[in-house]
Amino acid sequence: MSTRRLVLTQSAALISAASTTLLLPEIARAQSNKIRVGLMLPYTGTFAQLGVAIENGFRMAIAEQGGKLGGREIEYFKVDDESEPSKGIENASKLVQRDKVDVLVGTVHSGVQMGIHKVARDSGVLSLIPNAGVHAATRSQCAPNVFRTSFSNSQPTRALGQAMVAKGHKKAVWITWKYAAGDEAFEGFKESYTAAGGTIVKELGLPFPNVEFQALLTEIASIKPDAVACFFAGGGAAKFMRDYAAAGLKDKIPLYGSGFLTEGVLEAAGPAADGVMTTLHYSDSLNTPRNQAFRLAYAKMFRLQPDVYAVQGYDTGLLLVQGANAVKGDLANKPALYKALESATIDSPRGKWTMSKSHNPVQDIYLRVVENKENKVLGVASKALADSGAGCKMA
């Protein structure tokens, strides 16, 4: 070989070695070929249990598929969002920019969700909302890459007012945490209660996640309404029901709520929850083979009773499985992926549901009552209820 040729060959080898080094991370990623799933959920604070239930449900749906999505292995990346809205954008960015997730699953708190939503809209990453009901996400700020598998904040309470008036409760006090979830739950309650002929005599509130209820309970005692309706969830909900009973109100002024009030907290609330009536898109006692099989499998896998959050996490998994299967694991094929997610019917433990045009579940809302530490279903309070999706224009 001539000297010249040798030099050329060597430099070619050098160039190719250099470009291999430069490309290595990309190649390694393509070769590992795992779908990168980001879980951004609360693992501390008043909603900690909700985050765990959502993750459990999600993992169970994936486990039922042999642990794969559209034939591909999965790698998980997790962030504890602490239900802290001020860290929402930063936490979601970590998953999208640093961990390069293909799909972002989260979260519980409506304020934190708005942080995720901004990152999802800016980056175009697929965003699946397994709880937070904030209206904007599927109304004025709806987006092609954002899908909710849970509810909109006013959906459960849109079925509550009618049920309360039917029980003869014409004058009610509303009480909640003052943030998007409570305020938007009020929107549904106000509409349904006043349409049924009820009057809301007072709106009470305290900042999230404050649980100093005493002064407000004293105020309720002095107003003496026919009933109280509320939105609380997680640890704060258990404390609210205990304080309500301890203040001597339980037997005098019936307590109603958006059904989150009695989800995942029946052990912690104890007898204070007995008889509390709520409306929600799920009930433990739904007498269907689908729900019974789900409850049994979940209890076996996690040694815990599932609640609505577990169901929502599970359904998020079911939705992602349908989408991933439709594109054979190629989540980058966005038009086909979104089409599959939009047209999915989810065979959920809550009953079958479909996606609305603005990407929010169209679902039955049940009337329930707490009996012996269980949410017993009394009937369907609203059939195939859809959120209005007001102001949603898909880009």
Binding site for ligand PHB (CB under 6 A): 108-110, 131-134, 153, 181, 233, 260
SS3 36: strand
Q: Would you say 108 or 319 has its CB closer to ligand PHB? A: 108
Supply the minimum distance, in Å, between the C-beta of residue 156 and ligand PHB: 9
Q: Would you say 219 or 267 has its CB closer to ligand PHB? A: 267
Supply the minimum distance, in Å, between the C-beta of residue 111 and ligand PHB: 7
Q: Would you say 108 or 143 has its CB closer to ligand PHB? A: 108
Q: DSSP letter string over 254-305?
A: -EEEEGGGGSS-HHHHGGGGTT-EEEES--TT--SHHHHHHHHHHHHHHSS-
Supply the minimum distance, in Å, between the C-beta of residue 36 and ligand PHB: 25
Supply the minimum distance, in Å, between the C-beta of residue 135 and ligand PHB: 10
Q: Would you say 83 or 145 has its CB closer to ligand PHB? A: 83
Q: List Cβ neighbours of 270 (8 Å cut-off, separation of 6 or more).
A: 242
Give the whole-angstrom CA distance, residue 278 versus residue 295: 21
Give the whole-angstrom CA distance, residue 49 versus residue 138: 25
Q: What are the b/e assignments for 153-177, b being 16+ CB within 10 Å?
A: bbbbbbbbbbbbbeeebbebbbbbb
Q: Would you say 157 or 192 has its CB closer to ligand PHB? A: 157
Of the candidates 379, 347, 353, 376, the residue with the CA atom closest to the CA atom of residue 366: 379
φ, ψ dihedrals at 377, nearest 5° = -80, 135
- The side-by-side arrangement of strands in the sheet containing 74-80 is 74-80, 35-41, 103-105, 126-129, 146-148
Q: Would you say 70 or 235 has its CB closer to ligand PHB? A: 235
Supply the minimum distance, in Å, between the C-beta of residue 133 and ligand PHB: 4
Supply the minimum distance, in Å, between the C-beta of residue 47 and ligand PHB: 6
